[in-house]
Structures are given as C-alpha cells and as structure tokens.
Amino acid sequence: MFLKLFKKWVFWAHLIIGLIAGLFIFSMSFTGFLLTYERQIVELDEMRFTVNNTYVQQRLSADDVVDILRKSHPSQSHIYIRWVNREGAAIPAWAGKHSYLLHPYTGDVLREGEGLAADFFHAVTDIHRYLLLHGDSQVIGKNINGYANLFFIFLLLSGAYLWLPKRFNRSALKGYLLLAKSYKSSHHRNRQWHLVFGIWCLPVLLVLSLTATLFHFDWANKALYGAFGQNVPEREKHLPVFDLSADEVLYDTLFQQAKVHAINNGAADWYSMWLELGDKKHEARFYIDTSIGNRQEYAYSLFLDTRTGDVTKTLKKSDWTRGDQAWGTSRFLHTGEYFGFLGQTLAGLASLLACFLVYTGIVLAWKRLITKR
C-alpha cells in the first residue's frame, strides 16, 4: 500500500515538474544537439580558406603574425595565434577580442571575425547557457537553466523509478525496451516512445545533466573537489601586460623550439599549436594538441621565457591535481568529447532524444489533465 501511494506521489511530481521545466529542458537539449559537432564544423569552415603555395613562398613567421596584429591593434598585447599542421592552412589569430584569418604566405586578411559558423555556434551557446540574455540579465538566464537542469535530474531518476514494470518477465521487458510495430492510438505511441527513448538514453543524459551542475552551482564544484580533499582553486591573477617590447627572443625561434619539444615528447604529429602572449610578462605559452581539440589527454602546455628561450614549465593533464583532473574530465564528458567523435555522437543523439521526451511528456500530460478531464 505504501509503495503504491509513494509511486503515485512520484508520478504526479514527475508530471508537474516536467510541465514547469519542460520548455527550458527542451531548449537546453535542442541547443546541445546543435552543438554536437561544433569543433569539426568550425574546422571545416576554416579549411575553405586553405591556399596553394603557387610561388613556393616562405610561410609567415610567428613574428610576422604578431607584427600584423600589433599594427592593427597597438593597444592590445594579449595575442593568440593558432597554426594547423597542414600545408596551406590559413592562420587564425586574435588581438584581444579582434579575430582574423590570415593568408599563411602573404599575411593578407582572408576573413575578419570568426566566421558565420563560429558566430552561429556562439549564439547557440548563449541560448544553451543564458537563454540569449546579456549584461546583468545573463545571471537570470544562467540560474533558470541551472535549476531547470536540477529538475531534469529529478525527472530522469523519477522516470527510471516509474519505468520499472510490475513484473519482470520477457513480455513486460520487451514492451518497455522495444518500440512496437504498430500502435493502438497516438496516446499508446507517445507513451511507448516516452518509455523506450527514456530508458535507453538515461545513462548518457544522467552524465550530461550531472556534469552540467558544475557550470551553474558553487556547491557542485565544492563537492567535486571535496571528494579529493581539495578546495576549489582560485583563478590565477596576473598583472596586465601592456607592452611586449621586453620580449628579447624572436617568437619564431620560440615556435621552432616548441616544434622540437613536441617531437621529443611524443607529439610530432601535432594537429594544431597555439601561441599565447601577453597573459603573463616574459612568458610565451604554447598549447600543443595532437587531436582536433578538446581532448586534454592528447595535449599539453609548454611555457617558455621570452627573454632567454628557456623552458620554464610543461603542463600535462597528468600534472594537474586530482580535483582539476576530475573537473577537466567532467567538462568534456558533458559534451561527449572526452570519448572523441563517438562520445560526441552519443551525447548529441541523447540530447535529441531528450527533446522527444519533453514532447511526449507534455502530450501525455495534456491528455491526462485536459482531454481526459
């Protein structure tokens, strides 16, 4: 009797919370689906600007790229340059918030800004995180999505409980795990979709929603780091760098040194290499990545002194604290990128199925609350 009453209360809580948070969950799920292959699509968009070296010209040096950026934005000392290890690949470069795609041999600006593909994904990300709100209102959008995500976790766990059949036999499990060949009515079809899609994508959706709490709540970060006996680290603060004139070693010399370091440290087949200047005085940070991006186990940072060229530090994921490693893993479990292309695909498919769960859940609730009444 108690279990029957408890299940009834769980059912109504599941239904009401689903109606309250359904639209926000749908928004996060659909935008998450759109972001599935963001990195690959942006990369393909940049590949359109690959050029042929018709006259066997020498590739731009790192110093040439820095000079181009500094002439355009002399007040900006925070510079990013990204090289892709492919013949004729254009060079993405940033001076502060100003972004360019440069011709790898002439230095001509092939594109100003990050391009339509990147701009599209930035807009989708803003919806996914902040409901497209900006300024002071951004916190409101973030909190709405954060609590909607907590409701989603409850819906997943309560849904798993409600999914349990009264009797565990082959016939019952078949009806709860497999789609039927035909349906008696639209209501029967929607209920079957809700049960089957829900149980199959439950593990992935739980991972996506649980890791999402780290982006919204301090208590989630404290719990993660606390599990490893650590406090949440404070973000490093450096004095602003206004001038790069104190850098004595040529940036291209540092770039060539980073290439040699990559060869000697198992990253000879690097896919891309980033150079960051101006974050800390007298420091050049190279980020050497053997994957297409966002797979931390396949990348590491190399720090060089811009006065002497000496290596001051190398930083791989294995060098991080256990708490930082757990946070980094959680970050890319949320997008599926921790498991590469297959992980992205599973995360994207589960996000799309979550949209079906919202749709079928609202239709079933309407049937019970309005039509039946």
CB-based contact 285:247 (threshold 8 Å) = no
Mean pLDDT of the chain: 93
Residue ranges in the chain assigned as alpha helix (H): 2-34, 38-47, 62-72, 115-130, 138-163, 170-177, 186-212, 218-226, 251-264, 322-334, 340-366
Mean pLDDT (whole number) for 160-179: 82
Beta bridge partners of 28: none
Nearest to 284, CA basis, from 257, 262, 319: 257
Tokens, residue 175 = 């009806």
For residue 4, what pLDDT band results from cuts at 50, 70 and 90?
Answer: confident
| Secondary structure of residue 322 in the 3-state scheme | helix
Mean pLDDT (whole number) for 117-139: 95
Please give the Cα distance from 47 to 68 (Å, whole number).
22
**Which pLDDT score, from 0 to 100, does residue 211 have?**
98
The per-residue pLDDT for range 22-44, each reduced to its tens digit, is 999 999 999 999 999 999 999 99
| Secondary structure of residue 365 in the 3-state scheme | helix
Neighbours of 207 (CB within 10 A): 19
Rg of the chain over CA atoms, in angstroms? Answer: 25
From 8-12, 49-53, 327-331, the region with the lowest mean pLDDT:
49-53
Q: Give the relative orientation of helices 322-334 and 186-212 as an angle to the nearest 10 degrees.
A: 150
Mean pLDDT (whole number) for 289-298: 91
Domain-wise residue ranges, the chain: 2-39+131-233+348-371, 52-104+235-320
- Check pLDDT > 70 for residue 55: no
Please give the Cα distance from 4 to 6 (Å, whole number).
5
| Secondary structure of residue 299 in the 3-state scheme | strand
- Check pLDDT > 60 for residue 373: no
- Check pLDDT > 70 for residue 342: yes
Nearest to 327, CA basis, from 235, 191, 262: 235
| Cβ neighbourhood burial of 1 (10 Å; 0-12, 13-18, 19+) | exposed
Mean pLDDT (whole number) for 118-134: 96
CB hemisphere CA count around 99 (13 angstroms): 12
The per-residue pLDDT for range 208-220, each reduced to its tens digit, is 999 999 999 999 9
